[in-house]
Amino acid sequence: MKYVTTIDDKEFTVEIIDERHISINDKMMEVDFQSISGQPVYSMVIDGKSYEAYVYEGEDDWQVLLLGRQYPVKVEDEREKRLKSAAGGKAQAGGEFQLKSPMPGLVVAVPVEEGQPVEKGQVLVILESMKMQNELKSPRAGKVERIKVKAGESVEQKQTLLSVV
Amino acid sequence: MKYVTTIDDKEFTVEIIDERHISINDKMMEVDFQSISGQPVYSMVIDGKSYEAYVYEGEDDWQVLLLGRQYPVKVEDEREKRLKSAAGGKAQAGGEFQLKSPMPGLVVAVPVEEGQPVEKGQVLVILESMKMQNELKSPRAGKVERIKVKAGESVEQKQTLLSVV
Amino acid sequence: MFKKILVANRGEIAVRILRACREFGIPTVAIFSEADRNALHVRYADEAYLLGPAPSRESYLRADKIIDIARKCGADAIHPGYGFLAEREAFAAACMDAGITFIGPKPSAIAAMGDKMTARNTVMAASVPVVPGTEGKGGMTDDDLLAFAPKIGFPLLIKASAGGGGKGMREVASLEEMPALLASARREAESAFGDGNVYLEKLVEGARHIEIQILADQYGNAIYLGERDCSIQRRHQKLIEEAPSPFMDEELRQKMGTVAVKAAQSVEYVNAGTIEFLVDKDKNFYFLEMNTRLQVEHPVTELVTGVDIVAEQIRIARGRQLSYKQEDVHLRGHAIECRVNAEDPYNGFLPSTGLVTLSIVPTGPGVRVDTSVYSGIEISPFYDPMIAKLIVWGETRGQAILRMRRALEEYRIVGVRTNIPFHQTMMDSPRFMGGQYDTRFVEERFSMPELDEERVMHHPEIAAAFATLVAHHEAQRSSEFVMRNERDTSNWKWVGRWERLHR
Amino acid sequence: MFKKILVANRGEIAVRILRACREFGIPTVAIFSEADRNALHVRYADEAYLLGPAPSRESYLRADKIIDIARKCGADAIHPGYGFLAEREAFAAACMDAGITFIGPKPSAIAAMGDKMTARNTVMAASVPVVPGTEGKGGMTDDDLLAFAPKIGFPLLIKASAGGGGKGMREVASLEEMPALLASARREAESAFGDGNVYLEKLVEGARHIEIQILADQYGNAIYLGERDCSIQRRHQKLIEEAPSPFMDEELRQKMGTVAVKAAQSVEYVNAGTIEFLVDKDKNFYFLEMNTRLQVEHPVTELVTGVDIVAEQIRIARGRQLSYKQEDVHLRGHAIECRVNAEDPYNGFLPSTGLVTLSIVPTGPGVRVDTSVYSGIEISPFYDPMIAKLIVWGETRGQAILRMRRALEEYRIVGVRTNIPFHQTMMDSPRFMGGQYDTRFVEERFSMPELDEERVMHHPEIAAAFATLVAHHEAQRSSEFVMRNERDTSNWKWVGRWERLHR
């Protein structure tokens, strides 16, 4: 099984050869890969080097926390990737951004209105959790739409609060 | 639901009234009972006192390890117990004792033979595990039968080694 | 000794206090909210009573209920920990009225030091230097504060009168932005302390936050246990503390220690307390406030002095003389504390909640962990995000930093995100290693390297291998879900066992 | 410093050594058997290499493979830990031949002290008192030993020449039972050390086992770090160690310390080592043996002296002078270690193996845990049953005992049975509290109270409630299994969540 794995603009071709071997950019390596306690913490002994990392699944990538550093990693099946790029590359660039609540909490304020243009970094919602007020900011410029909460409401984790289009 | 619970020769009538209440010997108590991390370690707050115990299932009893002391506890459904004692009491006293391996290991020696009479405390099997030689002794006097292992064999945990009748 | 001590708190500090009581052989009482039934403090106490629903106002801030529980169960002393009711004069007074010993200072001392403005006036009268600010009586209106601000000059700080820990604190660069910041500071102060009063203070630039730990008994004996450097802060929340301060010398230590004892004596202080100072680069120091309670970061002082501060608090409250004289206090080695918060350093330090499915704490020589977290506990959104304190001791500051690095790398928490990578980055930072930092360091000169534009990756191919192997495995599992029968023949032996166990 | 250190061991001691290396910033190499892939030492090392199948002879005792791995990966030093190859002269010599530093004494010192009989002759020549026994050259036959035994007198001990830790040791009350005991001792010695040679020794009655920790550098400097009392033993296995010994006074300490240094110097000893003595009730002491390696119980000495013994071992091996002079060594406070073994104290201390599904270690002030166990690790039957060392420090012996009690009560391990209840009982025992014990105490005067005929139950009704609630719940679950649909409406909310999580 062959994958194209990307970190920032670095691309690696990773092939899973068998249970004990992978190749990275055609360099064959011996690998012993284990989950720790059935959790998303993994121990990997690769060509004699011992590493351990948390691997979290993101929206469309993986976050690998390794030796105190976090790496955003995109993994694509090589065949799929080839098909996709043949079909015209990135489809959803610049789509709708849905602001989801990163944690359960209480909405303190929604200092924007529907239809209002916002800058990148502008505060969209103030959420109180763990006794702290947390500002949720817009990741890009755009226009606010579909505000689904108001001040005083409790929200669940991952609940959609509003959209920026 | 009513139970007759016995520790040594002390008998307690324990009634499970609802999720929050039990009675012990007709004394009503408020109880909040929780498993810790889904493990056989339990936290019980009973009339304001906080206790924690390991509860292990034995062959025909429960072993409760509480504040550094272990209690062998027998729990019987009151109705069943009544029926059983009406039917004539203890049925299996003095039955066959099956010596089971308490751990995986290597049989070093079986210093008894089939048909041989043994005393209580006499060594039946010597088993090596964790670099220690462990003597498995007879819990009562009787006669050895059905020896199923010999020196040099590896055994699994709970594997039956021999019987004393 | 006391017959029974009620610990009016939760989390790691409740556990810390319960341990001290147990080590005295004193029976203990825990209190808990509905969110905390499985918390370690409930499990470790001899008795435990439910207070009410999760929000603090309905549970840990219910002074009336707590005193009622203490009375009913026969507790003759209450330890308040930090936060919640620890610095409420009324609570200390109510304990006294109920005939229960409050393990802390007298209500009058709490009152004098608890209102930051009164505190400043009191210590000024004892000729302790203070930071310029609104020194009037409490309860100034927004209009008053806006009028006074230009006299102090910008930048300045809005601070909660009842506060601490950076809650309700705002930095103000200009008069224009001040009204909005006043409103949000009051809102946060109201929510955290039940008191929306705020005051203003000059912002000392390039300052270090250095505090002196005090112990005082009922017989007028008072000593200082050296200093703690708490300059590594973010949004005025302390994140890393160390003792001794790499900035300090013995002469300054003695000078500040003596002034701190004087400040404590100005309010006839009894029990453990901390005098916080700002120290500028020329080693001028200004009284900031006094915390009339046990401090989060007390362990670093314990590790370098050998004094068990909580045990000493209990002895003092019982009417004993101090176990130590000033000349018995010697600093040995170096200690560092990292506050482990359930916050994601890669996502604006937003709080993270959830079920902790695995917790492996670092152990071994020179490592202490004060925590209330274990595999299987839920981190709820109701309370402070600090879930553990990782504290190390070393013969030298260098050894302590190296030890902290290995301990941070060993620490495993799954289920919530933590700021451990922040601490790892800090321990690798040349400025931290050199002791070259002030209270603005984190915000002005520090960032997570991954979030830099020009980031340098150390092990990209290893990260790629991890992600690919996990992704591959997940894909295999999905397809196995379709071809169910083949599941048990999966190559990936690491899937099987744990799942079978918990099936 | 060293470029890379290979740790030729497993379990908690491998972890201990890896931590010391990491705190020096030295890269590390672990080795592991097929049973240990998920062990902590594999996870914590920078590199890790498979040795072979689980049995020690095919893995951790494979000196050839280990040296080969060290060569290939560029390790310039090997730390052997304790057990396995730590006291094999040939291994130390092979390291030297391969140009790799053996972190320990010279092969000649291992040889001199490693064979117990040579050791006795050597120290006797340096006028160190010894216990009477078979002082001839090694390899005596059963016939020789049986002939010699009556000259020593009964009771006596059979001991493994290559041994330590009570393995291959047997106590003999009479000549009649001696042949059978010789056979079983040789068998156990052969299995544990690959060497079935044994010797005889007079059994000193009413004796305490007190040992002196030594450090010596390559320049003839040697110091002692005080004593450890290791008299609490069962089947000649140490279970609890403390420092200082409650039996000791400063005069005896200096006397034994000086003799211990002399014994070490008699073999030109370099690095850390321990001289074991038997001390009778009149404070006469006899040399027992020298352990030419790091000792299991070294942490109690670390806690009372502040010396990091493993770090010092590495420095010495690197050719540094000792960091301490004798006059720098001061004992401060008291430390106790409990060895946590996977053994069931209610079932003849039989070893217990299995998957550890939960491990919650005690933490907080004064507590150190050296362990290789975490939630999710498998305890296999192949190695030593010791899975953790719980070590506490207190200002006084009394405080240390109280702290140990609270730490033992906090410790949770599910999946294997442990001897923690044994330690709890011991900490409550008046004789232990009074320091009134000898090496026979556990076997002759101590038993688990539950196994007594006249047992006293402290909380029978609470135990009854626990068992009944669990039994009731299990019964409910079985019936729910039949009435499947009702499962999710179970009253027992504690069933649900964890299961959903791991489904």
Q: D430 pLDDT band (50/70/90 cuts)?
A: very high
Q: State whether residue B84 is helix, strand or coil.
A: helix
How far apart are the CA of A36 and the nearest CA of chain D, in angstroms?
7
Q: B88 pLDDT band (50/70/90 cuts)?
A: low
Q: Do D464 and B73 touch (CB under 8 A)?
A: yes
Q: Which amino acid is at D42?
A: V
Partner residue facing B75 (CB), from D191, D449, D468: D468
**Active-site residue C293, yes or no?**
yes
Q: What is the largest CA-CA distance in chain D?
A: 82
Sequence ranges of chain C with CATH classification 3.40.50.20:
5-103
Q: Do D306 and C15 touch (CB under 8 A)?
A: no
**Please, what sign has the CA dihedral across residues C90, C93, C98, C101?**
positive
Q: Do A36 and D45 touch (CB under 8 A)?
A: no
pLDDT, tens digit, 9 for 90 and up, residues D158-168: 988 877 667 88
Cα-Cα-Cα-Cα torsion C8, C14, C20, C22, nearest 10 degrees, comes to 80
- Compute the average pLDDT of residues C5-12: 98
pLDDT of residue C502: 42
Asked whether residue D392 carries a pLDDT value surpassing 70, the answer given is yes
pLDDT, tens digit, 9 for 90 and up, residues C98-148: 999 999 999 999 999 987 778 888 899 888 999 888 765 567 899 999 998
C 156-175 → A contacts, CB under 8 A: 167
Backbone phi, psi, residue D407, to 5°: -70, -40
CB-CB contact of C382 with C422 (8 Å):
no
With left for phi above 0 and alpha for psi between -120 and 50, is residue C403 left, alpha or beta? alpha
Asked whether residue C160 carries a pLDDT value surpassing 90, the answer given is no
How far apart are the CA of C129 and the nearest CA of chain D, in angstroms?
35
Sequence ranges of chain D with CATH classification 3.30.1490.20:
132-202
Partner residue facing A68 (CB), from C421, C461, C469: C421
Q: B95 pLDDT band (50/70/90 cuts)?
A: confident
Strand partners, D382: none
- Compute the average pLDDT of residues A109-118: 92
Q: Is B30 exposed, middle or buried, given 0-12, 13-18 or 19+ CB atoms closer than 10 A?
A: exposed
Closest residue, chain C, to D409 (C-alpha) = C44
Q: Say which range, B7-16, C161-170, C476-485, D457-466, has the weakest mean pLDDT.
A: C476-485
Give yes or no for C374 touching D (CB within 8 A).
yes
Task: Please indicate whether chains C and D are in contact, defined as at least 3 beta carbon pairs under 8 Å.
Answer: yes
Judging contacts by C-beta atoms under 8 Å, the chain C residues touching residue A62 are 467, 470-471
pLDDT, tens digit, 9 for 90 and up, residues D265-280: 999 999 999 999 999 9
Q: Do D410 and C44 touch (CB under 8 A)?
A: yes
* Mean confidence (pLDDT) of chain C: 91
Asked whether residue D489 carries a pLDDT value surpassing 50, the answer given is no
Output the six-digit token pair for C307. 């004094």
CB-CB contact of D385 with D341 (8 Å):
yes
Spatial distance between the Cα atoms of B47 and C299, rounded to a whole number of angstroms: 35
Output the six-digit token pair for B125. 């099997």
Cα-Cα-Cα-Cα torsion C168, C172, C177, C183, nearest 10 degrees, comes to 10
The helices-and-strands tally (H runs, E runs) of chain D is: 17, 22
In whole angstroms, how far apart are CA C33 and each of C71, C380, C488? Answer: 19, 11, 44
Sequence ranges of chain C with CATH classification 3.30.470.20:
205-331, 333-447
Strand partners, D265: none
- Compute the average pLDDT of residues B88-108: 73
Output the six-digit token pair for D188. 């156990």
Q: Say which range, C85-89, D303-307, D325-329, D346-350, has the weakest mean pLDDT.
A: D346-350
Q: D498 pLDDT band (50/70/90 cuts)?
A: very low
Q: D137 pLDDT band (50/70/90 cuts)?
A: low
Closest residue, chain B, to C73 (C-alpha) = B48
Closest residue, chain C, to B49 (C-alpha) = C47
Residue of D21, D22, D43 to mutate for A, most A C-beta atoms under 10 A: D43
- Compute the average pLDDT of residues A89-96: 55
Q: Which pairing describes strands D5-7 and D77-79: parallel, antiparallel, or unpaired?
A: parallel
Spatial distance between the Cα atoms of D172 and C393, rounded to a whole number of angstroms: 48
Q: C481 pLDDT band (50/70/90 cuts)?
A: low
Higher pLDDT, D421 or D440: D421
- Count how many pairs of residues, chain C against chain D, have C-beta atoms within 8 Å: 102
Q: Say which range, A57-71, C46-60, C292-306, has the weakest mean pLDDT.
A: A57-71
pLDDT of residue D418: 97
Question: Percentage of residues in chain C with pLDDT exceeding 70?
Answer: 93
Partner residue facing A130 (CB), from C384, C458, C471: C384
pLDDT of residue D480: 61
Closest residue, chain C, to D360 (C-alpha) = C374
Q: Do A34 and D49 touch (CB under 8 A)?
A: no
Give yes or no for C211 touching A (CB within 8 A).
no
Spatial distance between the Cα atoms of D248 and D246, rounded to a whole number of angstroms: 6
pLDDT of residue C25: 94
Catalytic residue among D208, D253, D293, D315: D293
Output the six-digit token pair for D307. 């010396």
- Compute the average pLDDT of residues B115-133: 86
Judging contacts by C-beta atoms under 8 Å, the chain A residues touching residue C348 are 134-135, 137
How far apart are the CA of B104 and the nearest CA of chain D, in angstroms?
6
Residue in the block written with tokens 């109880």: B31
- pTM for this one? 0.87
Which among D145, D87, D102, D13 is positioned nearest to D289, based on CA atoms?
A: D87
Q: Do C73 and B39 touch (CB under 8 A)?
A: no
Q: Which pairing describes strands A62-66 and D77-79: parallel, antiparallel, or unpaired?
A: unpaired
- Compute the average pLDDT of residues B44-69: 94
Q: Which amino acid is at B125?
A: V
pLDDT of residue A87: 60
Q: A94 pLDDT band (50/70/90 cuts)?
A: low
Backbone Cα Rg of chain B: 21
Asked whether residue A89 carries a pLDDT value surpassing 70, the answer given is no
pLDDT of residue A136: 87
CB-CB contact of A97 with A139 (8 Å):
yes
Give yes or no for C352 touching A (CB within 8 A).
yes
Question: Percentage of residues in chain B with pLDDT exceeding 90?
Answer: 56
Q: Do A64 and C408 touch (CB under 8 A)?
A: no
Judging contacts by C-beta atoms under 8 Å, the chain B residues touching residue D191 are 128, 131
Which among C29, C82, C35, C77 is positioned nearest to C59, based on CA atoms?
A: C35
Task: Please indicate whether chains C and B are in contact, defined as at least 3 beta carbon pairs under 8 Å.
Answer: yes
Class of the domain covering C333-447:
alpha beta
Class of the domain covering D132-202:
alpha beta
CATH of C205-331, one of 3.20.20.110, 3.30.565.10, 3.30.470.20, 3.40.50.300: 3.30.470.20
Q: C222 pLDDT band (50/70/90 cuts)?
A: very high
Asked whether residue B5 carries a pLDDT value surpassing 50, the answer given is yes
Cα-Cα-Cα-Cα torsion D447, D448, D450, D455, nearest 10 degrees, comes to 40
Output the six-digit token pair for D431. 């004789």
pLDDT of residue D491: 34
pLDDT, tens digit, 9 for 90 and up, residues C68-79: 999 999 999 999
Question: Percentage of residues in chain D with pLDDT exceeding 70?
Answer: 93
Q: Do D48 and A52 touch (CB under 8 A)?
A: no
Q: At a CB cut-off of 8 Å and minimum separation 6, what does B45 contact?
A: B31, B32, B51, C42, C48
How far apart are the CA of D491 and the nearest CA of chain A, in angstroms?
25
Spatial distance between the Cα atoms of C294 and C187, rounded to a whole number of angstroms: 26
Partner residue facing A34 (CB), from C382, C425, C494: C494
Q: Centre a 10 Å sphere on the Cβ of residue A136 and count the other Cβ atoms it contains.
A: 21
Asked whether residue C282 carries a pLDDT value surpassing 70, the answer given is yes
Q: Say which range, A85-99, C79-93, C338-352, has the weakest mean pLDDT.
A: A85-99
Q: Identify residues of A whose CB sits under 8 angstroms from chain D CBs.
A: 32, 34, 36-39, 43, 45, 48-50, 52
CB-CB contact of C426 with C448 (8 Å):
no
Q: Which DSSP string corresponds to C94-158?
A: HHHHTT-EESSS-HHHHHHHHSHHHHHHHHHHTT--B--B--S-S---HHHHHHHHHHH-SSEEE
Task: Establish whether the linkage from the previous residue to A104 is cis, with ω within 30° of 0.
Answer: no
CA angle C376, C380, C383 (to 5 degrees): 130
Judging contacts by C-beta atoms under 8 Å, the chain C residues touching residue D368 are 363-365, 367
Judging contacts by C-beta atoms under 8 Å, the chain B residues touching residue C45 are 50
Give yes or no for C378 touching B (CB within 8 A).
no
pLDDT of residue B138: 87
Asked whether residue D299 carries a pLDDT value surpassing 80, the answer given is yes
Judging contacts by C-beta atoms under 8 Å, the chain B residues touching residue C374 are 37
Give yes or no for D43 touching A (CB within 8 A).
yes
pLDDT of residue D6: 98
Count CA atoms within 13 Å of residue B76 on its CB side: 15
Q: Centre a 10 Å sphere on the Cβ of residue D396 and count the other Cβ atoms it contains.
A: 10
Asked whether residue D318 carries a pLDDT value surpassing 90, the answer given is yes
Partner residue facing A104 (CB), from C381, C414, C448: C381
Catalytic residue among C62, C170, C293, C368: C293
Q: Do C47 and B48 touch (CB under 8 A)?
A: yes
- Count how many pairs of residues, chain B against chain D, have C-beta atoms within 8 Å: 179
Give yes or no for C390 touching A (CB within 8 A).
no
List of E strands, chain A: 2-7, 10-18, 21-24, 27-35, 41-46, 49-57, 62-66, 69-77, 97-100, 105-109, 117-118, 123-129, 132-137, 142-145, 154-155, 160-164
Q: Do B62 and D450 touch (CB under 8 A)?
A: no
Judging contacts by C-beta atoms under 8 Å, the chain C residues touching residue B49 are 46-47
Q: B91 pLDDT band (50/70/90 cuts)?
A: very low
Q: Do B7 and D464 touch (CB under 8 A)?
A: yes
Judging contacts by C-beta atoms under 8 Å, the chain A residues touching residue D503 are none
**Please, what sign has the CA dihedral across residues C244, C249, C250, C256?**
negative
Q: Which amino acid is at A88?
A: G
Judging contacts by C-beta atoms under 8 Å, the chain D residues touching residue C368 are 363-365, 367
Judging contacts by C-beta atoms under 8 Å, the chain B residues touching residue D502 are 38
Q: State whether residue A163 is helix, strand or coil.
A: strand
pLDDT of residue C486: 38
Backbone phi, psi, residue B100, to 5°: -110, 145
Higher pLDDT, C230 or B120: C230
Asked whether residue C497 carries a pLDDT value surpassing 60, the answer given is no
pLDDT of residue C277: 96
Q: Which amino acid is at C190?
A: E
Q: C421 pLDDT band (50/70/90 cuts)?
A: very high
pLDDT of residue C480: 61
Q: Which DSSP string corresponds to D94-119?
A: HHHHTT-EESSS-HHHHHHHHSHHHH
Count CA atoms within 13 Å of residue B53 on its CB side: 29
Backbone phi, psi, residue A124, to 5°: -100, -40
Q: A88 pLDDT band (50/70/90 cuts)?
A: low
Q: D499 pLDDT band (50/70/90 cuts)?
A: very low
Class of the domain covering C5-103:
alpha beta
Residue in the block written with tokens 């106490």: C45
